[in-house]
């Protein structure tokens, strides 16, 4: 469990103080957080959303709690072009910001980035914005890396030893990742708008330009992921066209060889027929 205050603290168990502002990062199944939420009458429906692995991106609130569920993309261990999305939960109270995630590696990554930008004087609303900005920036980095990999695939298509099966697999995983990023980025944009609109007026005035910048990043992310998704389709067509040209060249060579042997085949076929009046039989 991580606690951000004057510096970054890591402890197995952190006391949750009722009247002190705290920014806490921990695992989803942390019993200390679960007990504290239940003791403070955290809505049961919110708990169900948090533990639902298939939960979509949402923003919900009641009189005491704000619940935000976003998506964080992590790379597949076997294929660098395939990325899986993991739920990230943000719970905001009057003086608490609690970050929950199943994956400890994701939790460490986000808290390390936040620590570089965090000040003890920052409000919880600003810390919430910073966490969302870190998630969006991480996704933008993934899209940029996919762009580099698609360029490498384009070069492989024109190589003499092109591996059709491998390239088709890479393009499939890239399309799958980009399609998921596009869809979830649109949902994130709607959710972030809701988060901003439910902040107090004073907070909205202070964070106006920060959220404008965040929305611009999301718009860029949506447009770029759609562009690269179209590019994967172009590369698939390019690969099939290139392989078709190679097949045509092979067929032309076979046709030329067949043309050479066609007269010989005709002569042999004639002399192989046993007719009575066949010339030169005697």
pTM score of the predicted model? 0.83
Count CB neighbours of 150 within 10 A.
19
For residue 91, count CB atoms less than 10 angstroms from its CB and return exposed for 0-12, middle for 13-18, buried for 19 or more.
buried
8 A C-beta contact, residue 81 and residue 149: yes
DSSP string, 126-190: HHHHHHHHHHHHHHHHHHHHHHHHHHHHHHHHTSTT--HHHHHHHHHHHHHHHHHHHHHHHHHHH
Closest CA to 62 of 45, 84, 39, 82: 45
pLDDT band at 233 (very low <50, low <70, confident <90, very high): confident
Task: Tell me the per-residue pLDDT of 190-200, one tens digit each, with 9 for 90 and over.
Answer: 999 999 999 99
Q: Going from the N-terminus, what domains does the chain have, and what CATH number goes with each?
A: 2-245 (3.30.460.20)
pLDDT at 211 over 90: yes
Rounded (10°) angle between helices 164-197 and 208-271: 160
Task: Tell me the per-residue pLDDT of 7-38, one tens digit each, with 9 for 90 and over.
Answer: 888 877 778 887 888 899 999 888 888 888 88
């Amino acid at each position: 469990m991580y606690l951000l205050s004057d510096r970054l603290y890591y402890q197995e168990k952190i006391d949750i103080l009722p009247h002190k502002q705290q920014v806490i990062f921990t695992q989803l199944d942390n019993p200390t957080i679960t007990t504290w939420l239940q003791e403070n009458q955290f809505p049961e429906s919110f708990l169900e959303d948090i533990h639902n692995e298939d939960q979509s991106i949402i923003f919900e609130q009641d009189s005491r709690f704000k619940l935000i569920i976003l998506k964080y993309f992590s790379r597949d261990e076997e294929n660098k072009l395939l990325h899986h999305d993991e739920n990230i939960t943000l719970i905001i109270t009057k003086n608490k910001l609690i970050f929950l995630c199943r994956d400890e590696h994701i939790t460490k990554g986000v808290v390390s980035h936040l620590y570089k930008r965090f000040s003890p004087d920052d409000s919880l609303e600003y810390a919430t914005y910073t966490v969302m900005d870190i998630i969006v920036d991480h996704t933008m980095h993934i899209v940029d890396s996919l762009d580099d990999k698609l360029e490498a695939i384009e070069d492989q298509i024109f190589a003499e030893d092109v591996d059709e099966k491998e390239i088709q697999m890479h393009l499939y995983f890239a399309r799958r990742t980009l399609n998921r990023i596009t869809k979830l980025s649109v949902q994130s944009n709607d959710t972030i708008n809701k988060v901003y609109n439910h902040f107090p007026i004073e907070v909205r005035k202070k964070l106006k330009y920060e959220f404008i910048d965040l929305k611009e990043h999301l718009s860029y992310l949506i447009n770029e992921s759609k562009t690269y998704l179209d590019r994967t389709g172009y590369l698939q067509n390019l690969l099939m066209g290139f392989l078709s040209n190679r097949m045509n060249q092979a067929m032309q060579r076979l046709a030329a060889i067949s043309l050479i042997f066609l007269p010989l085949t005709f002569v042999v076929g004639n002399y192989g027929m046993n007719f009575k009046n066949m010339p030169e039989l005697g």
